[in-house]
Structure 1
Amino acid sequence: MKKLVLTAAAVALSATTSLAATEVTWWHAMGGELGKKLEEVAQKFNESQSEYKVVPVFKGTYPETLTAAIAAFRAGQQPAIVQVFEVGTGTMMAAKGAVYPVYQVMKDAGEPWDTKGFLAPVTGYYSDASGNILSMPFNSSTPIMYYNKDVFKKAGLDPEVAPKTWAELATMGKKIVDSGAATCGFTLSYAATWVGLENYSAIQDLPFGTLQNGFGGTKTEFTFNGPNQAKFWDGLKKAQDDKVFKYGGPGGAAESAPMFYSQQCAVYMGSSASRAGVINNAKGFQVGFAPMPYDDTVTKEPKNSIIGGATLWTLNGQKDKNVYKGVAKFFTYLSKPEVQADWHQFTGYLPITNAAYELGQSQGYYAKNPGSDIAIKQIMRGTPSDNSKGVRFGNLTQIRDLVDQQFEAVLSGKKTGQQALDEAAKQGNAILREFEAANSN
């Protein structure tokens, strides 16, 4: 009887402890398998301690999640954490009073915060002019090349040798199409923006905008309409006319990856975070992995590629200040090598810490999974310059949409690459001035 009473008391105490856990709401933009993995990360944190409970809430696409968070903050109903894609960084930095910078969150909570432990290209993008990291790195990616080894072999190409330059890609692509091994040489997601123009500019060390691509302040102007970028767009138009390149659509180009899966296109360039999806969907053929091509007419030493993905921003305004202690504890948990390594290896996103990368090496993960470290080596290549550390502008989502429109005008033969990029820069600069005016107070 006594044992029964003690057991009941223990259950009651456990229930009380569970009820007392401080809830930390986390709005995110990950659906499908990635969303399930994200929820697993939160669940394991919750199981690791009893003081805090992270509650993940799916809010739709990245733009939808950012819009919802801004509206919620204005209404005083914001979450503690919101996942924001890299395109929204400039907007978040300009949201005065809304953001509780992660370096301050960790300091105020007394949690360890060693910025040197993170991958430099990742933290550099999300830091202010003083080097303070503003948001917690979580799911960072960079574009890489995926290619069909079987198609290469059918076309008489060495399946172990991927094209290194854009010129080699065009030549190989034409050989593939002419041989009948595939009907398309290559396709890209974000062809006009992130994978295409933005990373082309970075890898060739070409400026995308003034003031260090927007890192130096808001009074910046676009300079992506240089002669080399124009030549790049004209080259894609020619490749399309030669049936070597096939456009999958604007933005994330939902049609691009399926064209690779169906073996219609021999090469697909997209996010490193697509690795798991590519492997799972590439039925009946072997996939090769390689760095993004570079333009050897512009450079012989390609710079690092730039990041995509998202970080976790902490929002001000929580009435219960214990919530922020929970945020800090959760961020410490996310930084653990075993947590980061597991997330990176499952998703294809970059390991955000050096320790997570080293753990993967000691586990033999990269040796067992050839090509899985391509993205890491590519983004860590050389020393980032002002042109290769990324692009950070306000209202970049809107600007990317108009860049897509101008790129489509090139592909349809209505404009040359130079004409289209000049117009994109002009319209983009007008949007930047509107952003400045709206955030000047």
Structure 2
Amino acid sequence: MFTKTLTVSVGLAAMLAASPAALAATQIQWWHAMGGENGAKLEDIAKGFNQSQSDYEIVPVYKGSYDETLTSAIAAFRANEQPAIVQVYEVGTGTMMAAKGAVYPVYQLMKDEGEIWDQSKFIAPVVGYYSDTDGNVLSLPFNSSTPIMYYNKSVFEKAGLDPEVAPKTWAEVESFSRQIMESGAAPCGFTSAWISWIQTENFNALHNLPYSTEANGFGGLDAEFTFNNAATATHWANLKKWSDEGLFAYGGPGGGDNAAPKFYAQECAIYMNSSAGRAGVINNAKGFDVGFAPLPYYDDVVDKPMNSIIGGATLWTLQGRPAEEYAGVAKFFTYLQKPEVQADWHQFSGYLPITDAAYQLGVDQGYYEKNPGSDVGIKQMTGVEPNENSKGIRFGNYVQVRGIIDEEFAAMLGGSKTAQEALDSAISRGNDQLRDFQSANQ
């Protein structure tokens, strides 16, 4: 009897000694769209939070691309099987805001759960983009980026250009590209990913031009596109001319999957893409040094460019989960805002540090001094106070609109439309998408 009692006691003691997280932690699902190395780092971040306390366990679940993750979350919510947290890219912000009853705004969540919430610590473009009309931040910034210019220093030097000086204006991009090609240093001057995000959306922001009415969509669902302005038409026409001359190599629709290989193979000397691609660019640039610089601008349109606009994604909290999960979500969001967590994520991934404290920590650590060019995107976004034209764009059905922009750009490159005709068609078709979204959400 004694032996039996001892065995039971030992078993009970073992159970009591087991990890509290394994026995009692409230599990919280986090659906995300990050694969590869960034996905592995994301899981490390969740693991760090889980090990910092024993009441909650964040469970990251990879759901595919941004499009697939958003589609999955919408379908899950309709089936009442939604996660507590979902990562949504910036062009899905309008869709999330219009999902009445589905979203638990982060500012309200943190207040309800008694967690400290000070949105003034976020960098200004981040706060502006993800806020409602009253200035309240709706989702937690996590992986924010902005487009920058990468260039091949070795090719510059072969062409007789100063490898430490990048082109600042589009006129210089053209002249540098001609010198590179004529010298035989490379067969192409420049390429670009994301014609929509970089050469249209950011182009208008940098040149202080309205992308649409209603404060670029922030002011209401009845916005109408206006990016068929003279400056954008001139720029698209130049891209067509430069493409015909071989100075510019089109990278393809969407994210421009063919752009990066052209840069890595040293076919094109200049490459425009997300600042978050920094680590990948460095790792794939075999046999040459990479330079980093802000996006170019037309100095006959503006004397000084405005800030570039945001890309990347935020974390949205969905309604309909048990109350105890929201307490854990709030604590996790507090953890994610820690300077050391944000600085580590930023320095690993190339995404921007979303808080001033995370950036300052990097400065104090000597990170930017040791890694030249790693702060280009930060300075480009924060060097100028954002205004109505440069704080970003917010529309429903914008994923479809980006597809339309790609189609019209391709039509222009193919010679079936002028730049102005392609842009006019893009806003006409795009406005139809806006009206469809408006009708469905009013």
TM (normalized to structure 2)?
Answer: 0.97
Match of 2:87 in 1: 83
Given that 2:20 and 2:55 are in contact with CA atoms closer than 8 Å, whether structure 1 keeps it comes out as no
- Residues 99, 150 of structure 1: CA spacing in aligned structure 2 closer, same or farther, 3 A cutoff? same
Given that 2:28 and 2:57 are in contact with CA atoms closer than 8 Å, whether structure 1 keeps it comes out as yes
Report how far residue 56 of structure 1 moved.
Answer: 0.4
Match of 1:364 in 2: 366
Match of 1:270 in 2: 273
**Distance in 1 between residues matched to 2:141 and 2:21, nearest whole Å:** 31
Match of 2:114 in 1: 110
Aligned length: 437
- Residues 122, 12 of structure 1: CA spacing in aligned structure 2 closer, same or farther, 3 A cutoff? same
- Residues 173, 46 of structure 1: CA spacing in aligned structure 2 closer, same or farther, 3 A cutoff? same
Unaligned runs of 5+ in 1: none
Q: Does the alignment pair 1:59 with 2:63?
A: yes
Q: Does the alignment pair 1:68 with 2:43?
A: no
- Residues 102, 418 of structure 1: CA spacing in aligned structure 2 closer, same or farther, 3 A cutoff? same
Letter in 1 for 2:377: A
Unaligned runs of 5+ in 2: none
> In structure 2, which of residues 343, 347, 350 is the aligned counterpart of residue 341 of structure 1?
343
- Root mean square deviation of aligned Cα: 1.4
- Counterparts of residues 14-29 of structure 1 (less than 5 Å): 14-15=18-19, 17-29=21-33
Report how far residue 11 of structure 1 moved.
Answer: 5.2
Given that 2:254 and 2:403 are in contact with CA atoms closer than 8 Å, whether structure 1 keeps it comes out as yes
Q: Cα deviations across residues 324-381 of structure 1 (Å, max 9, x unaligned)?
A: 0110000000000000000000011000110000000000000000000000000002
Q: Does the alignment pair 1:135 with 2:151?
A: no
**Distance in 2 between residues matched to 1:256 and 1:19, nearest whole Å:** 49
Letter in 1 for 2:305: P
Residue 248 of structure 2 aligns to a residue in which SS? coil
Letter in 2 for 1:66: L
Letter in 1 for 2:235: F
Match of 1:428 in 2: 430
Given that 2:46 and 2:59 are in contact with CA atoms closer than 8 Å, whether structure 1 keeps it comes out as yes
Match of 2:130 in 1: 126
Residue 325 of structure 2 aligns to a residue in which SS? helix
Letter in 1 for 2:307: N
Percent identity of equivalent pairs: 64
**Distance in 2 between residues matched to 1:297 and 1:246, nearest whole Å:** 25
> In structure 1, which of residues 417, 438, 441 is the aligned counterpart of residue 440 of structure 2?
438
**Distance in 2 between residues matched to 1:303 and 1:136, nearest whole Å:** 25
**Distance in 1 between residues matched to 2:262 and 2:192, nearest whole Å:** 10
Residue 185 of structure 1 aligns to a residue in which SS? strand
Match of 1:282 in 2: 285
Match of 2:329 in 1: 327
> In structure 1, which of residues 304, 311, 323 is the aligned counterpart of residue 307 of structure 2?
304
Match of 1:154 in 2: 158
- Counterparts of residues 208-223 of structure 1 (less than 5 Å): 208-223=211-226
Residue 191 of structure 2 aligns to a residue in which SS? strand
Match of 1:30 in 2: 34
Match of 1:380 in 2: 382
Q: Does the alignment pair 1:94 with 2:98?
A: yes
Given that 1:182 and 1:266 are in contact with CA atoms closer than 8 Å, whether structure 2 keeps it comes out as yes
Residue 430 of structure 1 aligns to a residue in which SS? helix
Given that 1:174 and 1:242 are in contact with CA atoms closer than 8 Å, whether structure 2 keeps it comes out as no
Q: Cα deviations across residues 70-107 of structure 1 (Å, max 9, x unaligned)?
A: 01000100000000000000000000000000001100
Report how far residue 6 of structure 1 moved.
Answer: 7.5
Q: Does the alignment pair 1:47 with 2:51?
A: yes
Match of 2:356 in 1: 354
Match of 2:178 in 1: 174
Given that 1:124 and 1:131 are in contact with CA atoms closer than 8 Å, whether structure 2 keeps it comes out as yes
Residue 246 of structure 1 aligns to a residue in which SS? strand
**Distance in 2 between residues matched to 1:366 and 1:126, nearest whole Å:** 27
Report how far residue 8 of structure 1 moved.
Answer: 6.9
Given that 2:21 and 2:57 are in contact with CA atoms closer than 8 Å, whether structure 1 keeps it comes out as no
Q: Cα deviations across residues 394-425 of structure 1 (Å, max 9, x unaligned)?
A: 01000000010000011111111110000000
**Distance in 2 between residues matched to 1:203 and 1:16, nearest whole Å:** 52
Letter in 1 for 2:262: M
Report how far residue 18 of structure 1 moved.
Answer: 2.2
Report how far residue 15 of structure 1 moved.
Answer: 3.8
Report how far residue 136 of structure 1 moved.
Answer: 0.3
**Distance in 2 between residues matched to 1:309 and 1:236, nearest whole Å:** 26
Q: Cα deviations across residues 205-264 of structure 1 (Å, max 9, x unaligned)?
A: 011000110011111000000011100100100111111100010010111111111101
**Distance in 2 between residues matched to 1:5 and 1:291, nearest whole Å:** 67
- Counterparts of residues 251-270 of structure 1 (less than 5 Å): 251-270=254-273
Report how far residue 10 of structure 1 moved.
Answer: 5.6
Letter in 1 for 2:34: M
Match of 1:403 in 2: 405
**Distance in 1 between residues matched to 2:126 and 2:20, nearest whole Å:** 41
Letter in 2 for 1:296: D
Match of 1:202 in 2: 205
Given that 2:50 and 2:57 are in contact with CA atoms closer than 8 Å, whether structure 1 keeps it comes out as yes
**Distance in 2 between residues matched to 1:395 and 1:64, nearest whole Å:** 15
Report how far residue 179 of structure 1 moved.
Answer: 1.2
Letter in 2 for 1:325: A
> In structure 1, which of residues 225, 228, 232 is the aligned counterpart of residue 228 of structure 2?
225
Letter in 2 for 1:251: G
**Distance in 2 between residues matched to 1:439 and 1:13, nearest whole Å:** 53
Q: Does the alignment pair 1:240 with 2:243?
A: yes
